[in-house]
Structure 1
Amino acid sequence: MHESVPHRGEPIPVTTTRPYYVPVGNEEQVFTAAYRQGLSIVLKGPTGCGKTRFVEAMAHDLGRPLVTVSCHDDLTTADLVGRFLLRGGETEWVDGPLTRAVREGAICYLDEVVEARQDTTVVLHPLADHRRQLPIERLGVTLDAAPGFGLVMSYNPGYQSVLKDLKDSTRQRMIAIEFGFPTPDIEEKIVANEAGIAPDRAAELVRLGQAIRRLETGGLREVASTRVLIAAGRLIAEGLDTRDAARAAIAGPLTDDSTVTRGLMEMIEVYLADQQAGE
């Protein structure tokens, strides 16, 4: 067996249609300025508030391909950088998603980065600062990031435990953009557009979501995100009764606590009363 030249894979495509995203502040201007200066970016905000869609829209606007990695406890450095694989009797190097982005000048988005092991995220440091380099120890080479490369991370600081947080050495290499849920008028437009439902029906779902976010209870794993409101809207678009859609897409995913579930069901009856599908 012999080692072949590094394998890069097929080129990463650039999205031709802009994903639907409605800005809630100056996040687009901050992202663009940081990207053009070669600065790495961290997006901080609750689950389902639009961080991933924002990155997709920005990659489109900047004309760059996007590589997305969903981080988890078992993510290794090799998963990001690459590894040798046996193919047809030969040992061949296969780039990981981070290496492909570095080579091709793509934007690499690490979703929920604190879920990855800290020994894995350390490999990001030379990329996240002025060096913009990726050492690949298995190959004995250091790659300079191609023009256009951008490093973006996200996490939910209100959800992860204190044992899962970004190292200070990582934080200080990043430009931070804070995200929250959109204002009701903007969220109504998003839900109506994404779910394909009437504006008044979207407004009802948003009012329910706003009410759930005001609850003070330990039984909710997460508050009602824009994502779950859209999911409920999509069920409504398929002809499901409004309240049944909300029970399935909002109440069900948010909690397993029977007492909290009953409370959410009561809220659904109040906020979505008499809203039948097809009205």
Structure 2
Amino acid sequence: MDAERVAHRNGAAVVTEHARPYYTSVGNEETVFKAAYRQGLSLLLKGPTGCGKTRFVEAMAHDLERKLITVACHDDLTTADLVGRFLLRGDETVWVDGPLTRAVREGAICYLDEVVEARQDTTVVLHPLADYRRQLPIERLGVTLDAAPGFGLVVSYNPGYQSVLKDLKDSTRQRMVAIEFGFPPPDVEEGIVRHEAGVDARVAADLVTFGQAIRRLETGGLREVASTRVLIAAGRLVAEGLPMRDAARAAIAGPLTDDASVGRGLAEMIDVYLANPAVGD
């Protein structure tokens, strides 16, 4: 995101100046998000990796004039990482707020990306924040914080990637309004690749066509299908002067698989779909 200035209005952190992150709606997701936010409802964004969930949250925080605090969740994320902990500073022990607590105090939007990667005993701390109470108990301090005006909780995950052992509890899900994400329609995705990578319409169209072909594959050797993110990465390499096929091998085929036979298949597809020398070769 561009540099921003944050003021405080009625106790809430308010973004006062920066450009809106580039995001193109493909349905009613913006309407649903803003309605849920105004009602103090938490949001669950579901969709494949690299389809634009994070950019969407950035755009919504901009529209709502709220500071955005993002947490990339992982296996070792603890409750203390989210809420805060006591730390030694010189000869003193001081309390340091975690990102979730900062958002609660400041009235910011807290975005937990890939929330199911965090341990389930960690995500339970979200329950009183995600329902009508809008409160955060901090056991180590013996206090319960009421969320400041403007606070919003947003979590995301990729249902197709998670195992049965990594899923959201029903008790967590039913406290949230869900928005389903997929990859954009071709014309929208071409516009995104063109804008984000700085390439012309022909390059963007060829990359999107190739990406869609990969998404139609039925093979177990792919870690993920081609996301909009990897198409943008390939486009940026083309913008730097790399031939289209070299860019696709490095930014699309390489990250998607370690399987040699699948890799050969993707290389053959690159030669078929991206063979036109007018688009980068």
Q: TM-score, normalised by structure 1?
A: 0.94
State yes or no: 1:104 paired with 2:106.
Answer: yes
Q: Cα distance, 1:274 vs. partner? A: 2.5
Check the 8 A contact 2:23/2:56 in 1, yes or no: yes
Aligned to 1:92: 94
RMSD of equivalent CA atoms: 1.3
In 2, Cα distance between equivalents of 1:31 and 1:254: 31
Q: Cα distance, 1:88 vs. partner? A: 1.6
**Other structure's SS at 1:18 match:** coil
State yes or no: 1:215 paired with 2:217.
Answer: yes
- How many residues align structurally? 269
1:161-240 equivalences in 2 (<5 Å): 161-240=163-242
Check the 8 A contact 1:240/1:277 in 2, yes or no: no
Aligned to 1:77: 79
In 2, Cα distance between equivalents of 1:40 and 1:271: 42
In 2, Cα distance between equivalents of 1:219 and 1:19: 34
In structure 2, the CA distance between the partners of 1:193 and 1:270, relative to structure 1 (3 Å rule), is same
Aligned to 2:151: 149
Aligned to 1:253: 255
Deviations 1:25-69 (A, max 9, x none): 000000000000000000000000000000000000000000000
In 1, Cα distance between equivalents of 2:13 and 2:279: 42
Query: What one-letter code is carried by the residue in structure 2 that aligns with 1:68?
Result: T
Aligned to 1:130: 132
Aligned to 2:20: 18
Structure 2, unmatched stretches of 5+, are 1-11
In 2, Cα distance between equivalents of 1:274 and 1:46: 30
The equivalent position to 1:263 in structure 2, one of 244, 254, 265, is: 265
In 1, Cα distance between equivalents of 2:13 and 2:42: 20
In 1, Cα distance between equivalents of 2:87 and 2:212: 50
Q: Cα distance, 1:16 vs. partner? A: 1.2
In 2, Cα distance between equivalents of 1:193 and 1:218: 32
Aligned to 2:38: 36
Q: Cα distance, 1:70 vs. partner? A: 0.3
Query: What one-letter code is carried by the residue in structure 1 that aligns with 2:258?
Result: D
Structure 1, unmatched stretches of 5+, are 1-10
Aligned to 1:7: none
State yes or no: 1:116 paired with 2:114.
Answer: no
